[in-house]
């Protein structure tokens, strides 16, 4: 029995979402063009391959295909509220959802997205303003896991006789035409064959609207601005939200006509000193200072257990996604991580009122009478370095719901961390990779607002420029 064309369109689109990091086809194209051709050959096997909702493993968000879109009555078929505007920031928002489209009718990008995904034009305009819409002139190359049927569809879109008709890609190589870039204007035009990636539910940062941003400015010069970043905010934004960022809100607070530029990052859940450049030229200058080791950063970390003064050394597994895995042993290919504990003093555990205000989770940590405020000189600057190193030592940062569960597991069951003090010996890389994956599963999710970590001081050029953050949240 052959499936109905409309249902087949949903199946093919869903399968492309399951297999491709960037699915290639939209339901309207399938129904009008490919279904008659493919129904007799590919659809029967596709129908048996379709599984539950797909998950985009690379970036860690759900890729929901075309399920849950608004009906003609203005509500989602899965019961979620209808789409209106991204602002004001809602108290709750939907799970991450990414749509992948190939443009079939040339014209306005916002109108095409609105029509294809059944979203209001104003909502699409907000998505573009947030930086949540990406474009490539030609569909990106599929991953090695693609099926022969998917490869066939991909080759259809990059066939020479198709590409020769594409006005926008003349003079470009195929690789150049497959590079994605952010759509910045609602009136941008797209031609048939263009690939679009739409982050329908961007990650939100409601804390941005609670902050007196002018009071968080530490210094303003002709070249840069130093900001005391609040916890629960992003320095420069995310891949789907550049609107709700420290750079954007600091620019507005100062009444600047040109946007401030990000020179370096600290975690969303951390607070403290960050430098924002006022010009592209100074952005490059500061990047060079960072590369040359001329920038010094001091941190205050609220550790759940005491830590000895001195240099702490670990090696970090070179894997892009968090949580980060640490080993005390030098491992080929792993990244050197060093920090210096300058001091460690016992202080009271934050009160329940402070915990609630900043969304602090104790993760079941049993010793809550005291915590330990550590002053740290960061010698190497790796992502999550302080958080991962202190957790590996057995003194996770207060509120760090990602790393504290792993530290607790190792304390209660020594050896559960295959790279810890009771480390295991691996017969091959596959066994090592499996152990790493098992250890990662023990960890928790990224904190919602804050952890006990502040970038308390930043300086460069041998102390010629020194800036200090205000009182950390746990002392407020």
For residues 225 and 282, the answer to whether their CB atoms sit within 8 Å is no
CB 400 within 8 A of CB 322: no
Answer yes or no: are the C-beta atoms of 197 and 153 closer than 8 Å. no
Structure tokens at 197: 């990636």
DSSP code, position 299: E
- Say how far apart CA 301 and CA 11 lie, in whole Å: 50
Strand partners, 124: none
How far is the C-alpha of 329 from the C-alpha of 206, rounded, in Å?
41
Is 212 one of the annotated active-site residues of the chain? no
The answer to whether 402 touches 445, Cβ cutoff 8 Å, is: yes
Query: Rounded CA gap, 353 and 360, in Å?
Result: 10
Using only the alpha carbons of the chain, give its radius of gyration.
25
All residues at 6 or more sequence positions from 266 whose CB lies less than 8 Å from its CB, including other chains: 229, 235, 272, 274, 455
Catalytic, out of 126, 267, 400, 430: 267
Residues 279 and 243: beta-carbon distance below 8 Å: no
- CB atoms near residue 113 (< 10 Å): 27
| β partners of residue 101 | 196
What are the catalytic residues?
Answer: 267
């Amino acid at each position: 029995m052959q499936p109905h064309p409309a249902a087949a369109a949903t199946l093919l689109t869903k399968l492309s979402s399951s297999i491709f990091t960037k699915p290639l086809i939209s339901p309207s194209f399938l129904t009008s063009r490919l279904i008659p051709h493919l129904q007799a050959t590919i659809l029967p096997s596709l129908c048996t391959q379709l599984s539950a909702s797909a998950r985009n493993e690379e970036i860690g968000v759900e890729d929901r295909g075309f399920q849950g879109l608004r009906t003609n009555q203005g509500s989602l078929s899965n019961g979620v509220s209808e789409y209106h505007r991204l602002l004001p920031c809602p108290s709750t928002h939907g799970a991450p959802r990414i749509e992948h489209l190939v443009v079939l009718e040339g014209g306005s990008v916002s109108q095409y997205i609105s029509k294809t995904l059944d979203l209001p034009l104003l909502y699409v305009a907000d998505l573009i303003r947030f930086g949540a819409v990406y474009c490539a002139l030609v569909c990106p190359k599929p991953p090695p896991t693609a099926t022969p049927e998917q490869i066939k569809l991909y080759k259809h879109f990059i066939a020479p006789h198709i590409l020769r008709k594409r006005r926008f890609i003349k003079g470009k190589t195929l690789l150049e035409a497959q590079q994605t870039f952010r759509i910045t204007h609602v009136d941008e035009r797209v031609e048939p064959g263009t690939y679009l990636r739409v982050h329908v539910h961007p990650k939100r940062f409601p804390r941005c609207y609670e902050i007196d941003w002018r009071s968080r400015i530490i210094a303003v010069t002709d070249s840069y601005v130093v900001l005391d970043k609040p916890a629960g905010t992003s320095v420069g934004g995310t891949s789907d939200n550049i609107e709700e960022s420290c750079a954007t809100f600091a620019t507005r607070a100062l009444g600047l006509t040109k946007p401030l530029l990000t020179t370096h990052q600290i975690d969303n859940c951390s607070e403290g000193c960050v430098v924002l450049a006022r010009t592209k030229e100074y952005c490059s200058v500061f990047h060079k200072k960072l590369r040359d080791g001329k920038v010094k950063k001091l941190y205050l970390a609220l550790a759940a257990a005491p830590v000895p003064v001195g240099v702490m050394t670990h090696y970090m597994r070179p894997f892009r996604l968090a949580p980060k895995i640490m080993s005390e042993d030098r491992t080929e290919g792993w990244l050197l991580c060093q920090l210096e504990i300058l001091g460690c003093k016992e202080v009271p555990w934050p009160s329940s009122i402070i915990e609630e205000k900043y969304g602090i989770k104790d993760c079941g940590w049993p010793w809550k009478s005291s915590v330990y405020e550590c002053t740290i000189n960061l010698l190497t600057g790796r992502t999550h370095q302080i958080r991962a190193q202190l957790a590996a030592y057995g003194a996770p940062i207060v509120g760090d719901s990602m790393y504290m569960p792993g530290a607790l597991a190792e304390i209660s069951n020594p050896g559960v961390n295959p790279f810890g003090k009771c480390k295991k010996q691996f017969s091959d890389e596959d066994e090592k990779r499996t152990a790493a994956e098992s250890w990662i599963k023990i960890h928790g999710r990224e904190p919602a607002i804050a952890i006990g970590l502040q970038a308390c001081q930043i300086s460069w050029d041998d102390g010629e420029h020194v800036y200090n953050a205000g009182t950390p949240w746990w002392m407020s």
